[in-house]
Amino acid sequence: MQFFDWNGQQVIWRNHGETVVVEPWGPDSLRVRAVLMGDVRDDRFALLEPMPSGNVEFVQTDEEHALLRNGKITAKMDVCGWKRRVRLTFVNQKGEVLLQETDGENALVLQARKFEPIIGGDCALTATFVGQEGEHIYGMGQYQEEYMDWKGCTLELAHRNSQASVPMILSSRGYGFLWHNPAVGYVSFGRNRTTWHADTTRQLDYWITAGDRPADISLNYARATGFAPMMPEYGLGFWQCKLRYWNQEQLLEVAREYKRRGLPIDVIVCDFFHWPKMGDYRFDPEFFPDPAAMVKELQDMGIELMVSVWPQVSLTSENYEEMEQQGLLVRAEYGEQIGMRFVEDSMFFDATNPRARKYVWEKCKKNYYDYGIRVFWLDEAEPEYGTYDFKAYRYHIGPNQQVGNVYPQYYSRTFYEGMVEAGQDNPVNLVRCAWAGSQRYGALVWSGDIMSDWSYLRRQVCAGVSMGCAGIPWWTTDIGGFHNGNPKDPAFRELLVRWFQWGCYCPVMRLHGDRKPAEPVFRKDGTPVLNSGSDNEVWSFGEEAYPILVKYMKRREELRPYVRSLMQEAHEAGTPLLRGMFYEFPEDETCAGLKDQYMFGGRYLVAPVMESGARTRSVYLPEGRWRNVDTGEVYEGAQRVTVPAPLEVIPVMERL
């Protein structure tokens, strides 16, 4: 009986109505697909055309055992037990097991690849792998939890405001794994088994790679899903933002004040509801009467203007009727055609529809880009359905529950492709969510509408490192948190200072937040519009904070050549800027569990102060020699030290 077919490119196994395909997919990498009752599909949700693999070998020892070797990774395929199912085991070039499907040939009759038919639809899918003792698992994008190592954790495979599910992991065992499936579901990294689950899908699809060091895995992943562009120069400095500069003169006056004070600033942001109605994709002429003049004055000062765009189209928008008639909006499966209720009822444009992407970009090009605006803030990118009822909506490419996690990638693609077509090099756009492959569309992800408290500061450090491990090197956060910070509150001022210092050592340094108390805003006729928050400029937080913030703005300028070099590494090799200690020191088991310090590139160890009132900081130094950048003191590594951390200092150690 012939179980395995080798066509020179793929190994194909068939039995019991199931088809499994294993094939090389870039250097040291394999793609695995499986389908029940049909042929596998070549859906390219994130994967690109594979790079050539120079060392591929197929060996079949008998009709029940075969292997496919591609460089440093080998898939062993064994037909097992009386049910004659194939079991996959992945090993490295030393023969060490990286990942192995669970064994279904026993009295329990458990299946490693379980397709559960949905009557009238596709299948729920569960894929299980043997748990590996001592394994550490990193990546997975952005979750608001204080973890870097996800071993022992269960995570939702779905996006929410401040949660970006990017299902790429980096294992301490020397492999990377992409769950190439945009369905809503979950993953559990248990001690006994790892379980990936899609609520509804057409097939199993994952990509796996082997690497001697984490950087090798990052490179292979970027080869498979795309490299980030080179960050433009204005992405390297300080970005000023608040909720919200509600008129043209107010925004310009803030920019002028930064220049009067001699403070370095690269970008200033015009936040949401500068438009007449959501989905109008233009400035409200009452508050922004001359956008072209505004952009020109800013550019004359050396400042880029970033403008917020939302995917929501309100039912009262000038574009709603046409977009609804043309089928350019997301469709509710039943009931009212409403996706979110904020200020007014709205529905999201369908970014998976190429006609919708073209329509939205053409509006934004005419009303923003043609004025000289070169940076967009793509908010609400999950998208943020009011109730997160994932079953309730349908896209051009399929039901939300089956494909919805790819939405933010398409949203970034809308603007990236439009800007490239318009002749722009290396676009960067701030976006509130991402999925696998978003990095190739210039996605600078920020961590959403987080709270202004210490626990959320600690969570962002974990989130930024995890995002980088998941292949998204451009990442940032609202310095100070988004919700509830009061600039006059001494407790918040301390938090803001510590967050700001850390922001200096993030890929992009951006100050933002909805500061309290709110400022009411009215039209000339007395009609209320959306509030503005309190002041959020570096001079807004008191006399003690101001010189500290200025110090780190200037330090960021001093770091500009270094940050530029890290962006070049990300562009060429896929390496993250924020690197967990495990990433740079994979042989040091102490580094495996560290979540309160990280490496900013390969040179600087950063230990943010993340507790109120703390004025010292315990730091673990891996083997080597380290210099405190503020005191000049040199330490030998392989030890934990306590270093001073007065309010004006974030502990940073330079690797010598």
Active-site positions?
379, 382, 449
CA dist list (Å): 509 to 232, 400, 553, 603: 14, 34, 9, 19
Three-state secondary structure readout of 329-379: ECEECCCCCCCEEECEEEEEECCCCHHHHHHHHHHHHHHCHHHCCCEEEEC
Residues 6+ apart with CB under 8 A from 179: 157, 167, 168, 187, 196, 206
**Both structure tokens of 380:** 């609400």
Expressed in angstroms, the distance from the first to the final Cα of the chain is 62
Q: Closest Cα partner for 653 from 576, 592, 597, 578?
A: 597
Instruction: Give me 430's structure tokens.
Output: 């701030």
Residue showing tokens 């500068």: 274
CB 491 within 8 A of CB 463: no
Tokens representing 337? 């055609």
Do the bridges between strand 154-157 and strand 598-600 make them parallel or antiparallel, or are there none, so unpaired?
A: unpaired
DSSP code at position 201: E
Beta bridge partners of 11: 6, 22
Q: Which residues in 176-208 are b (16+ Cβ under 10 Å) and which e?
A: bbbbbbbbbbbbbbeeebbbbbbbbbbbbbbbb
Q: Do 466 and 452 touch, CB atoms closer than 8 A?
A: no
- Other Cβ atoms less than 10 A from the Cβ of 524: the count is 7
Residue 3 CA neighbour count, 13 Å, CB half: 21
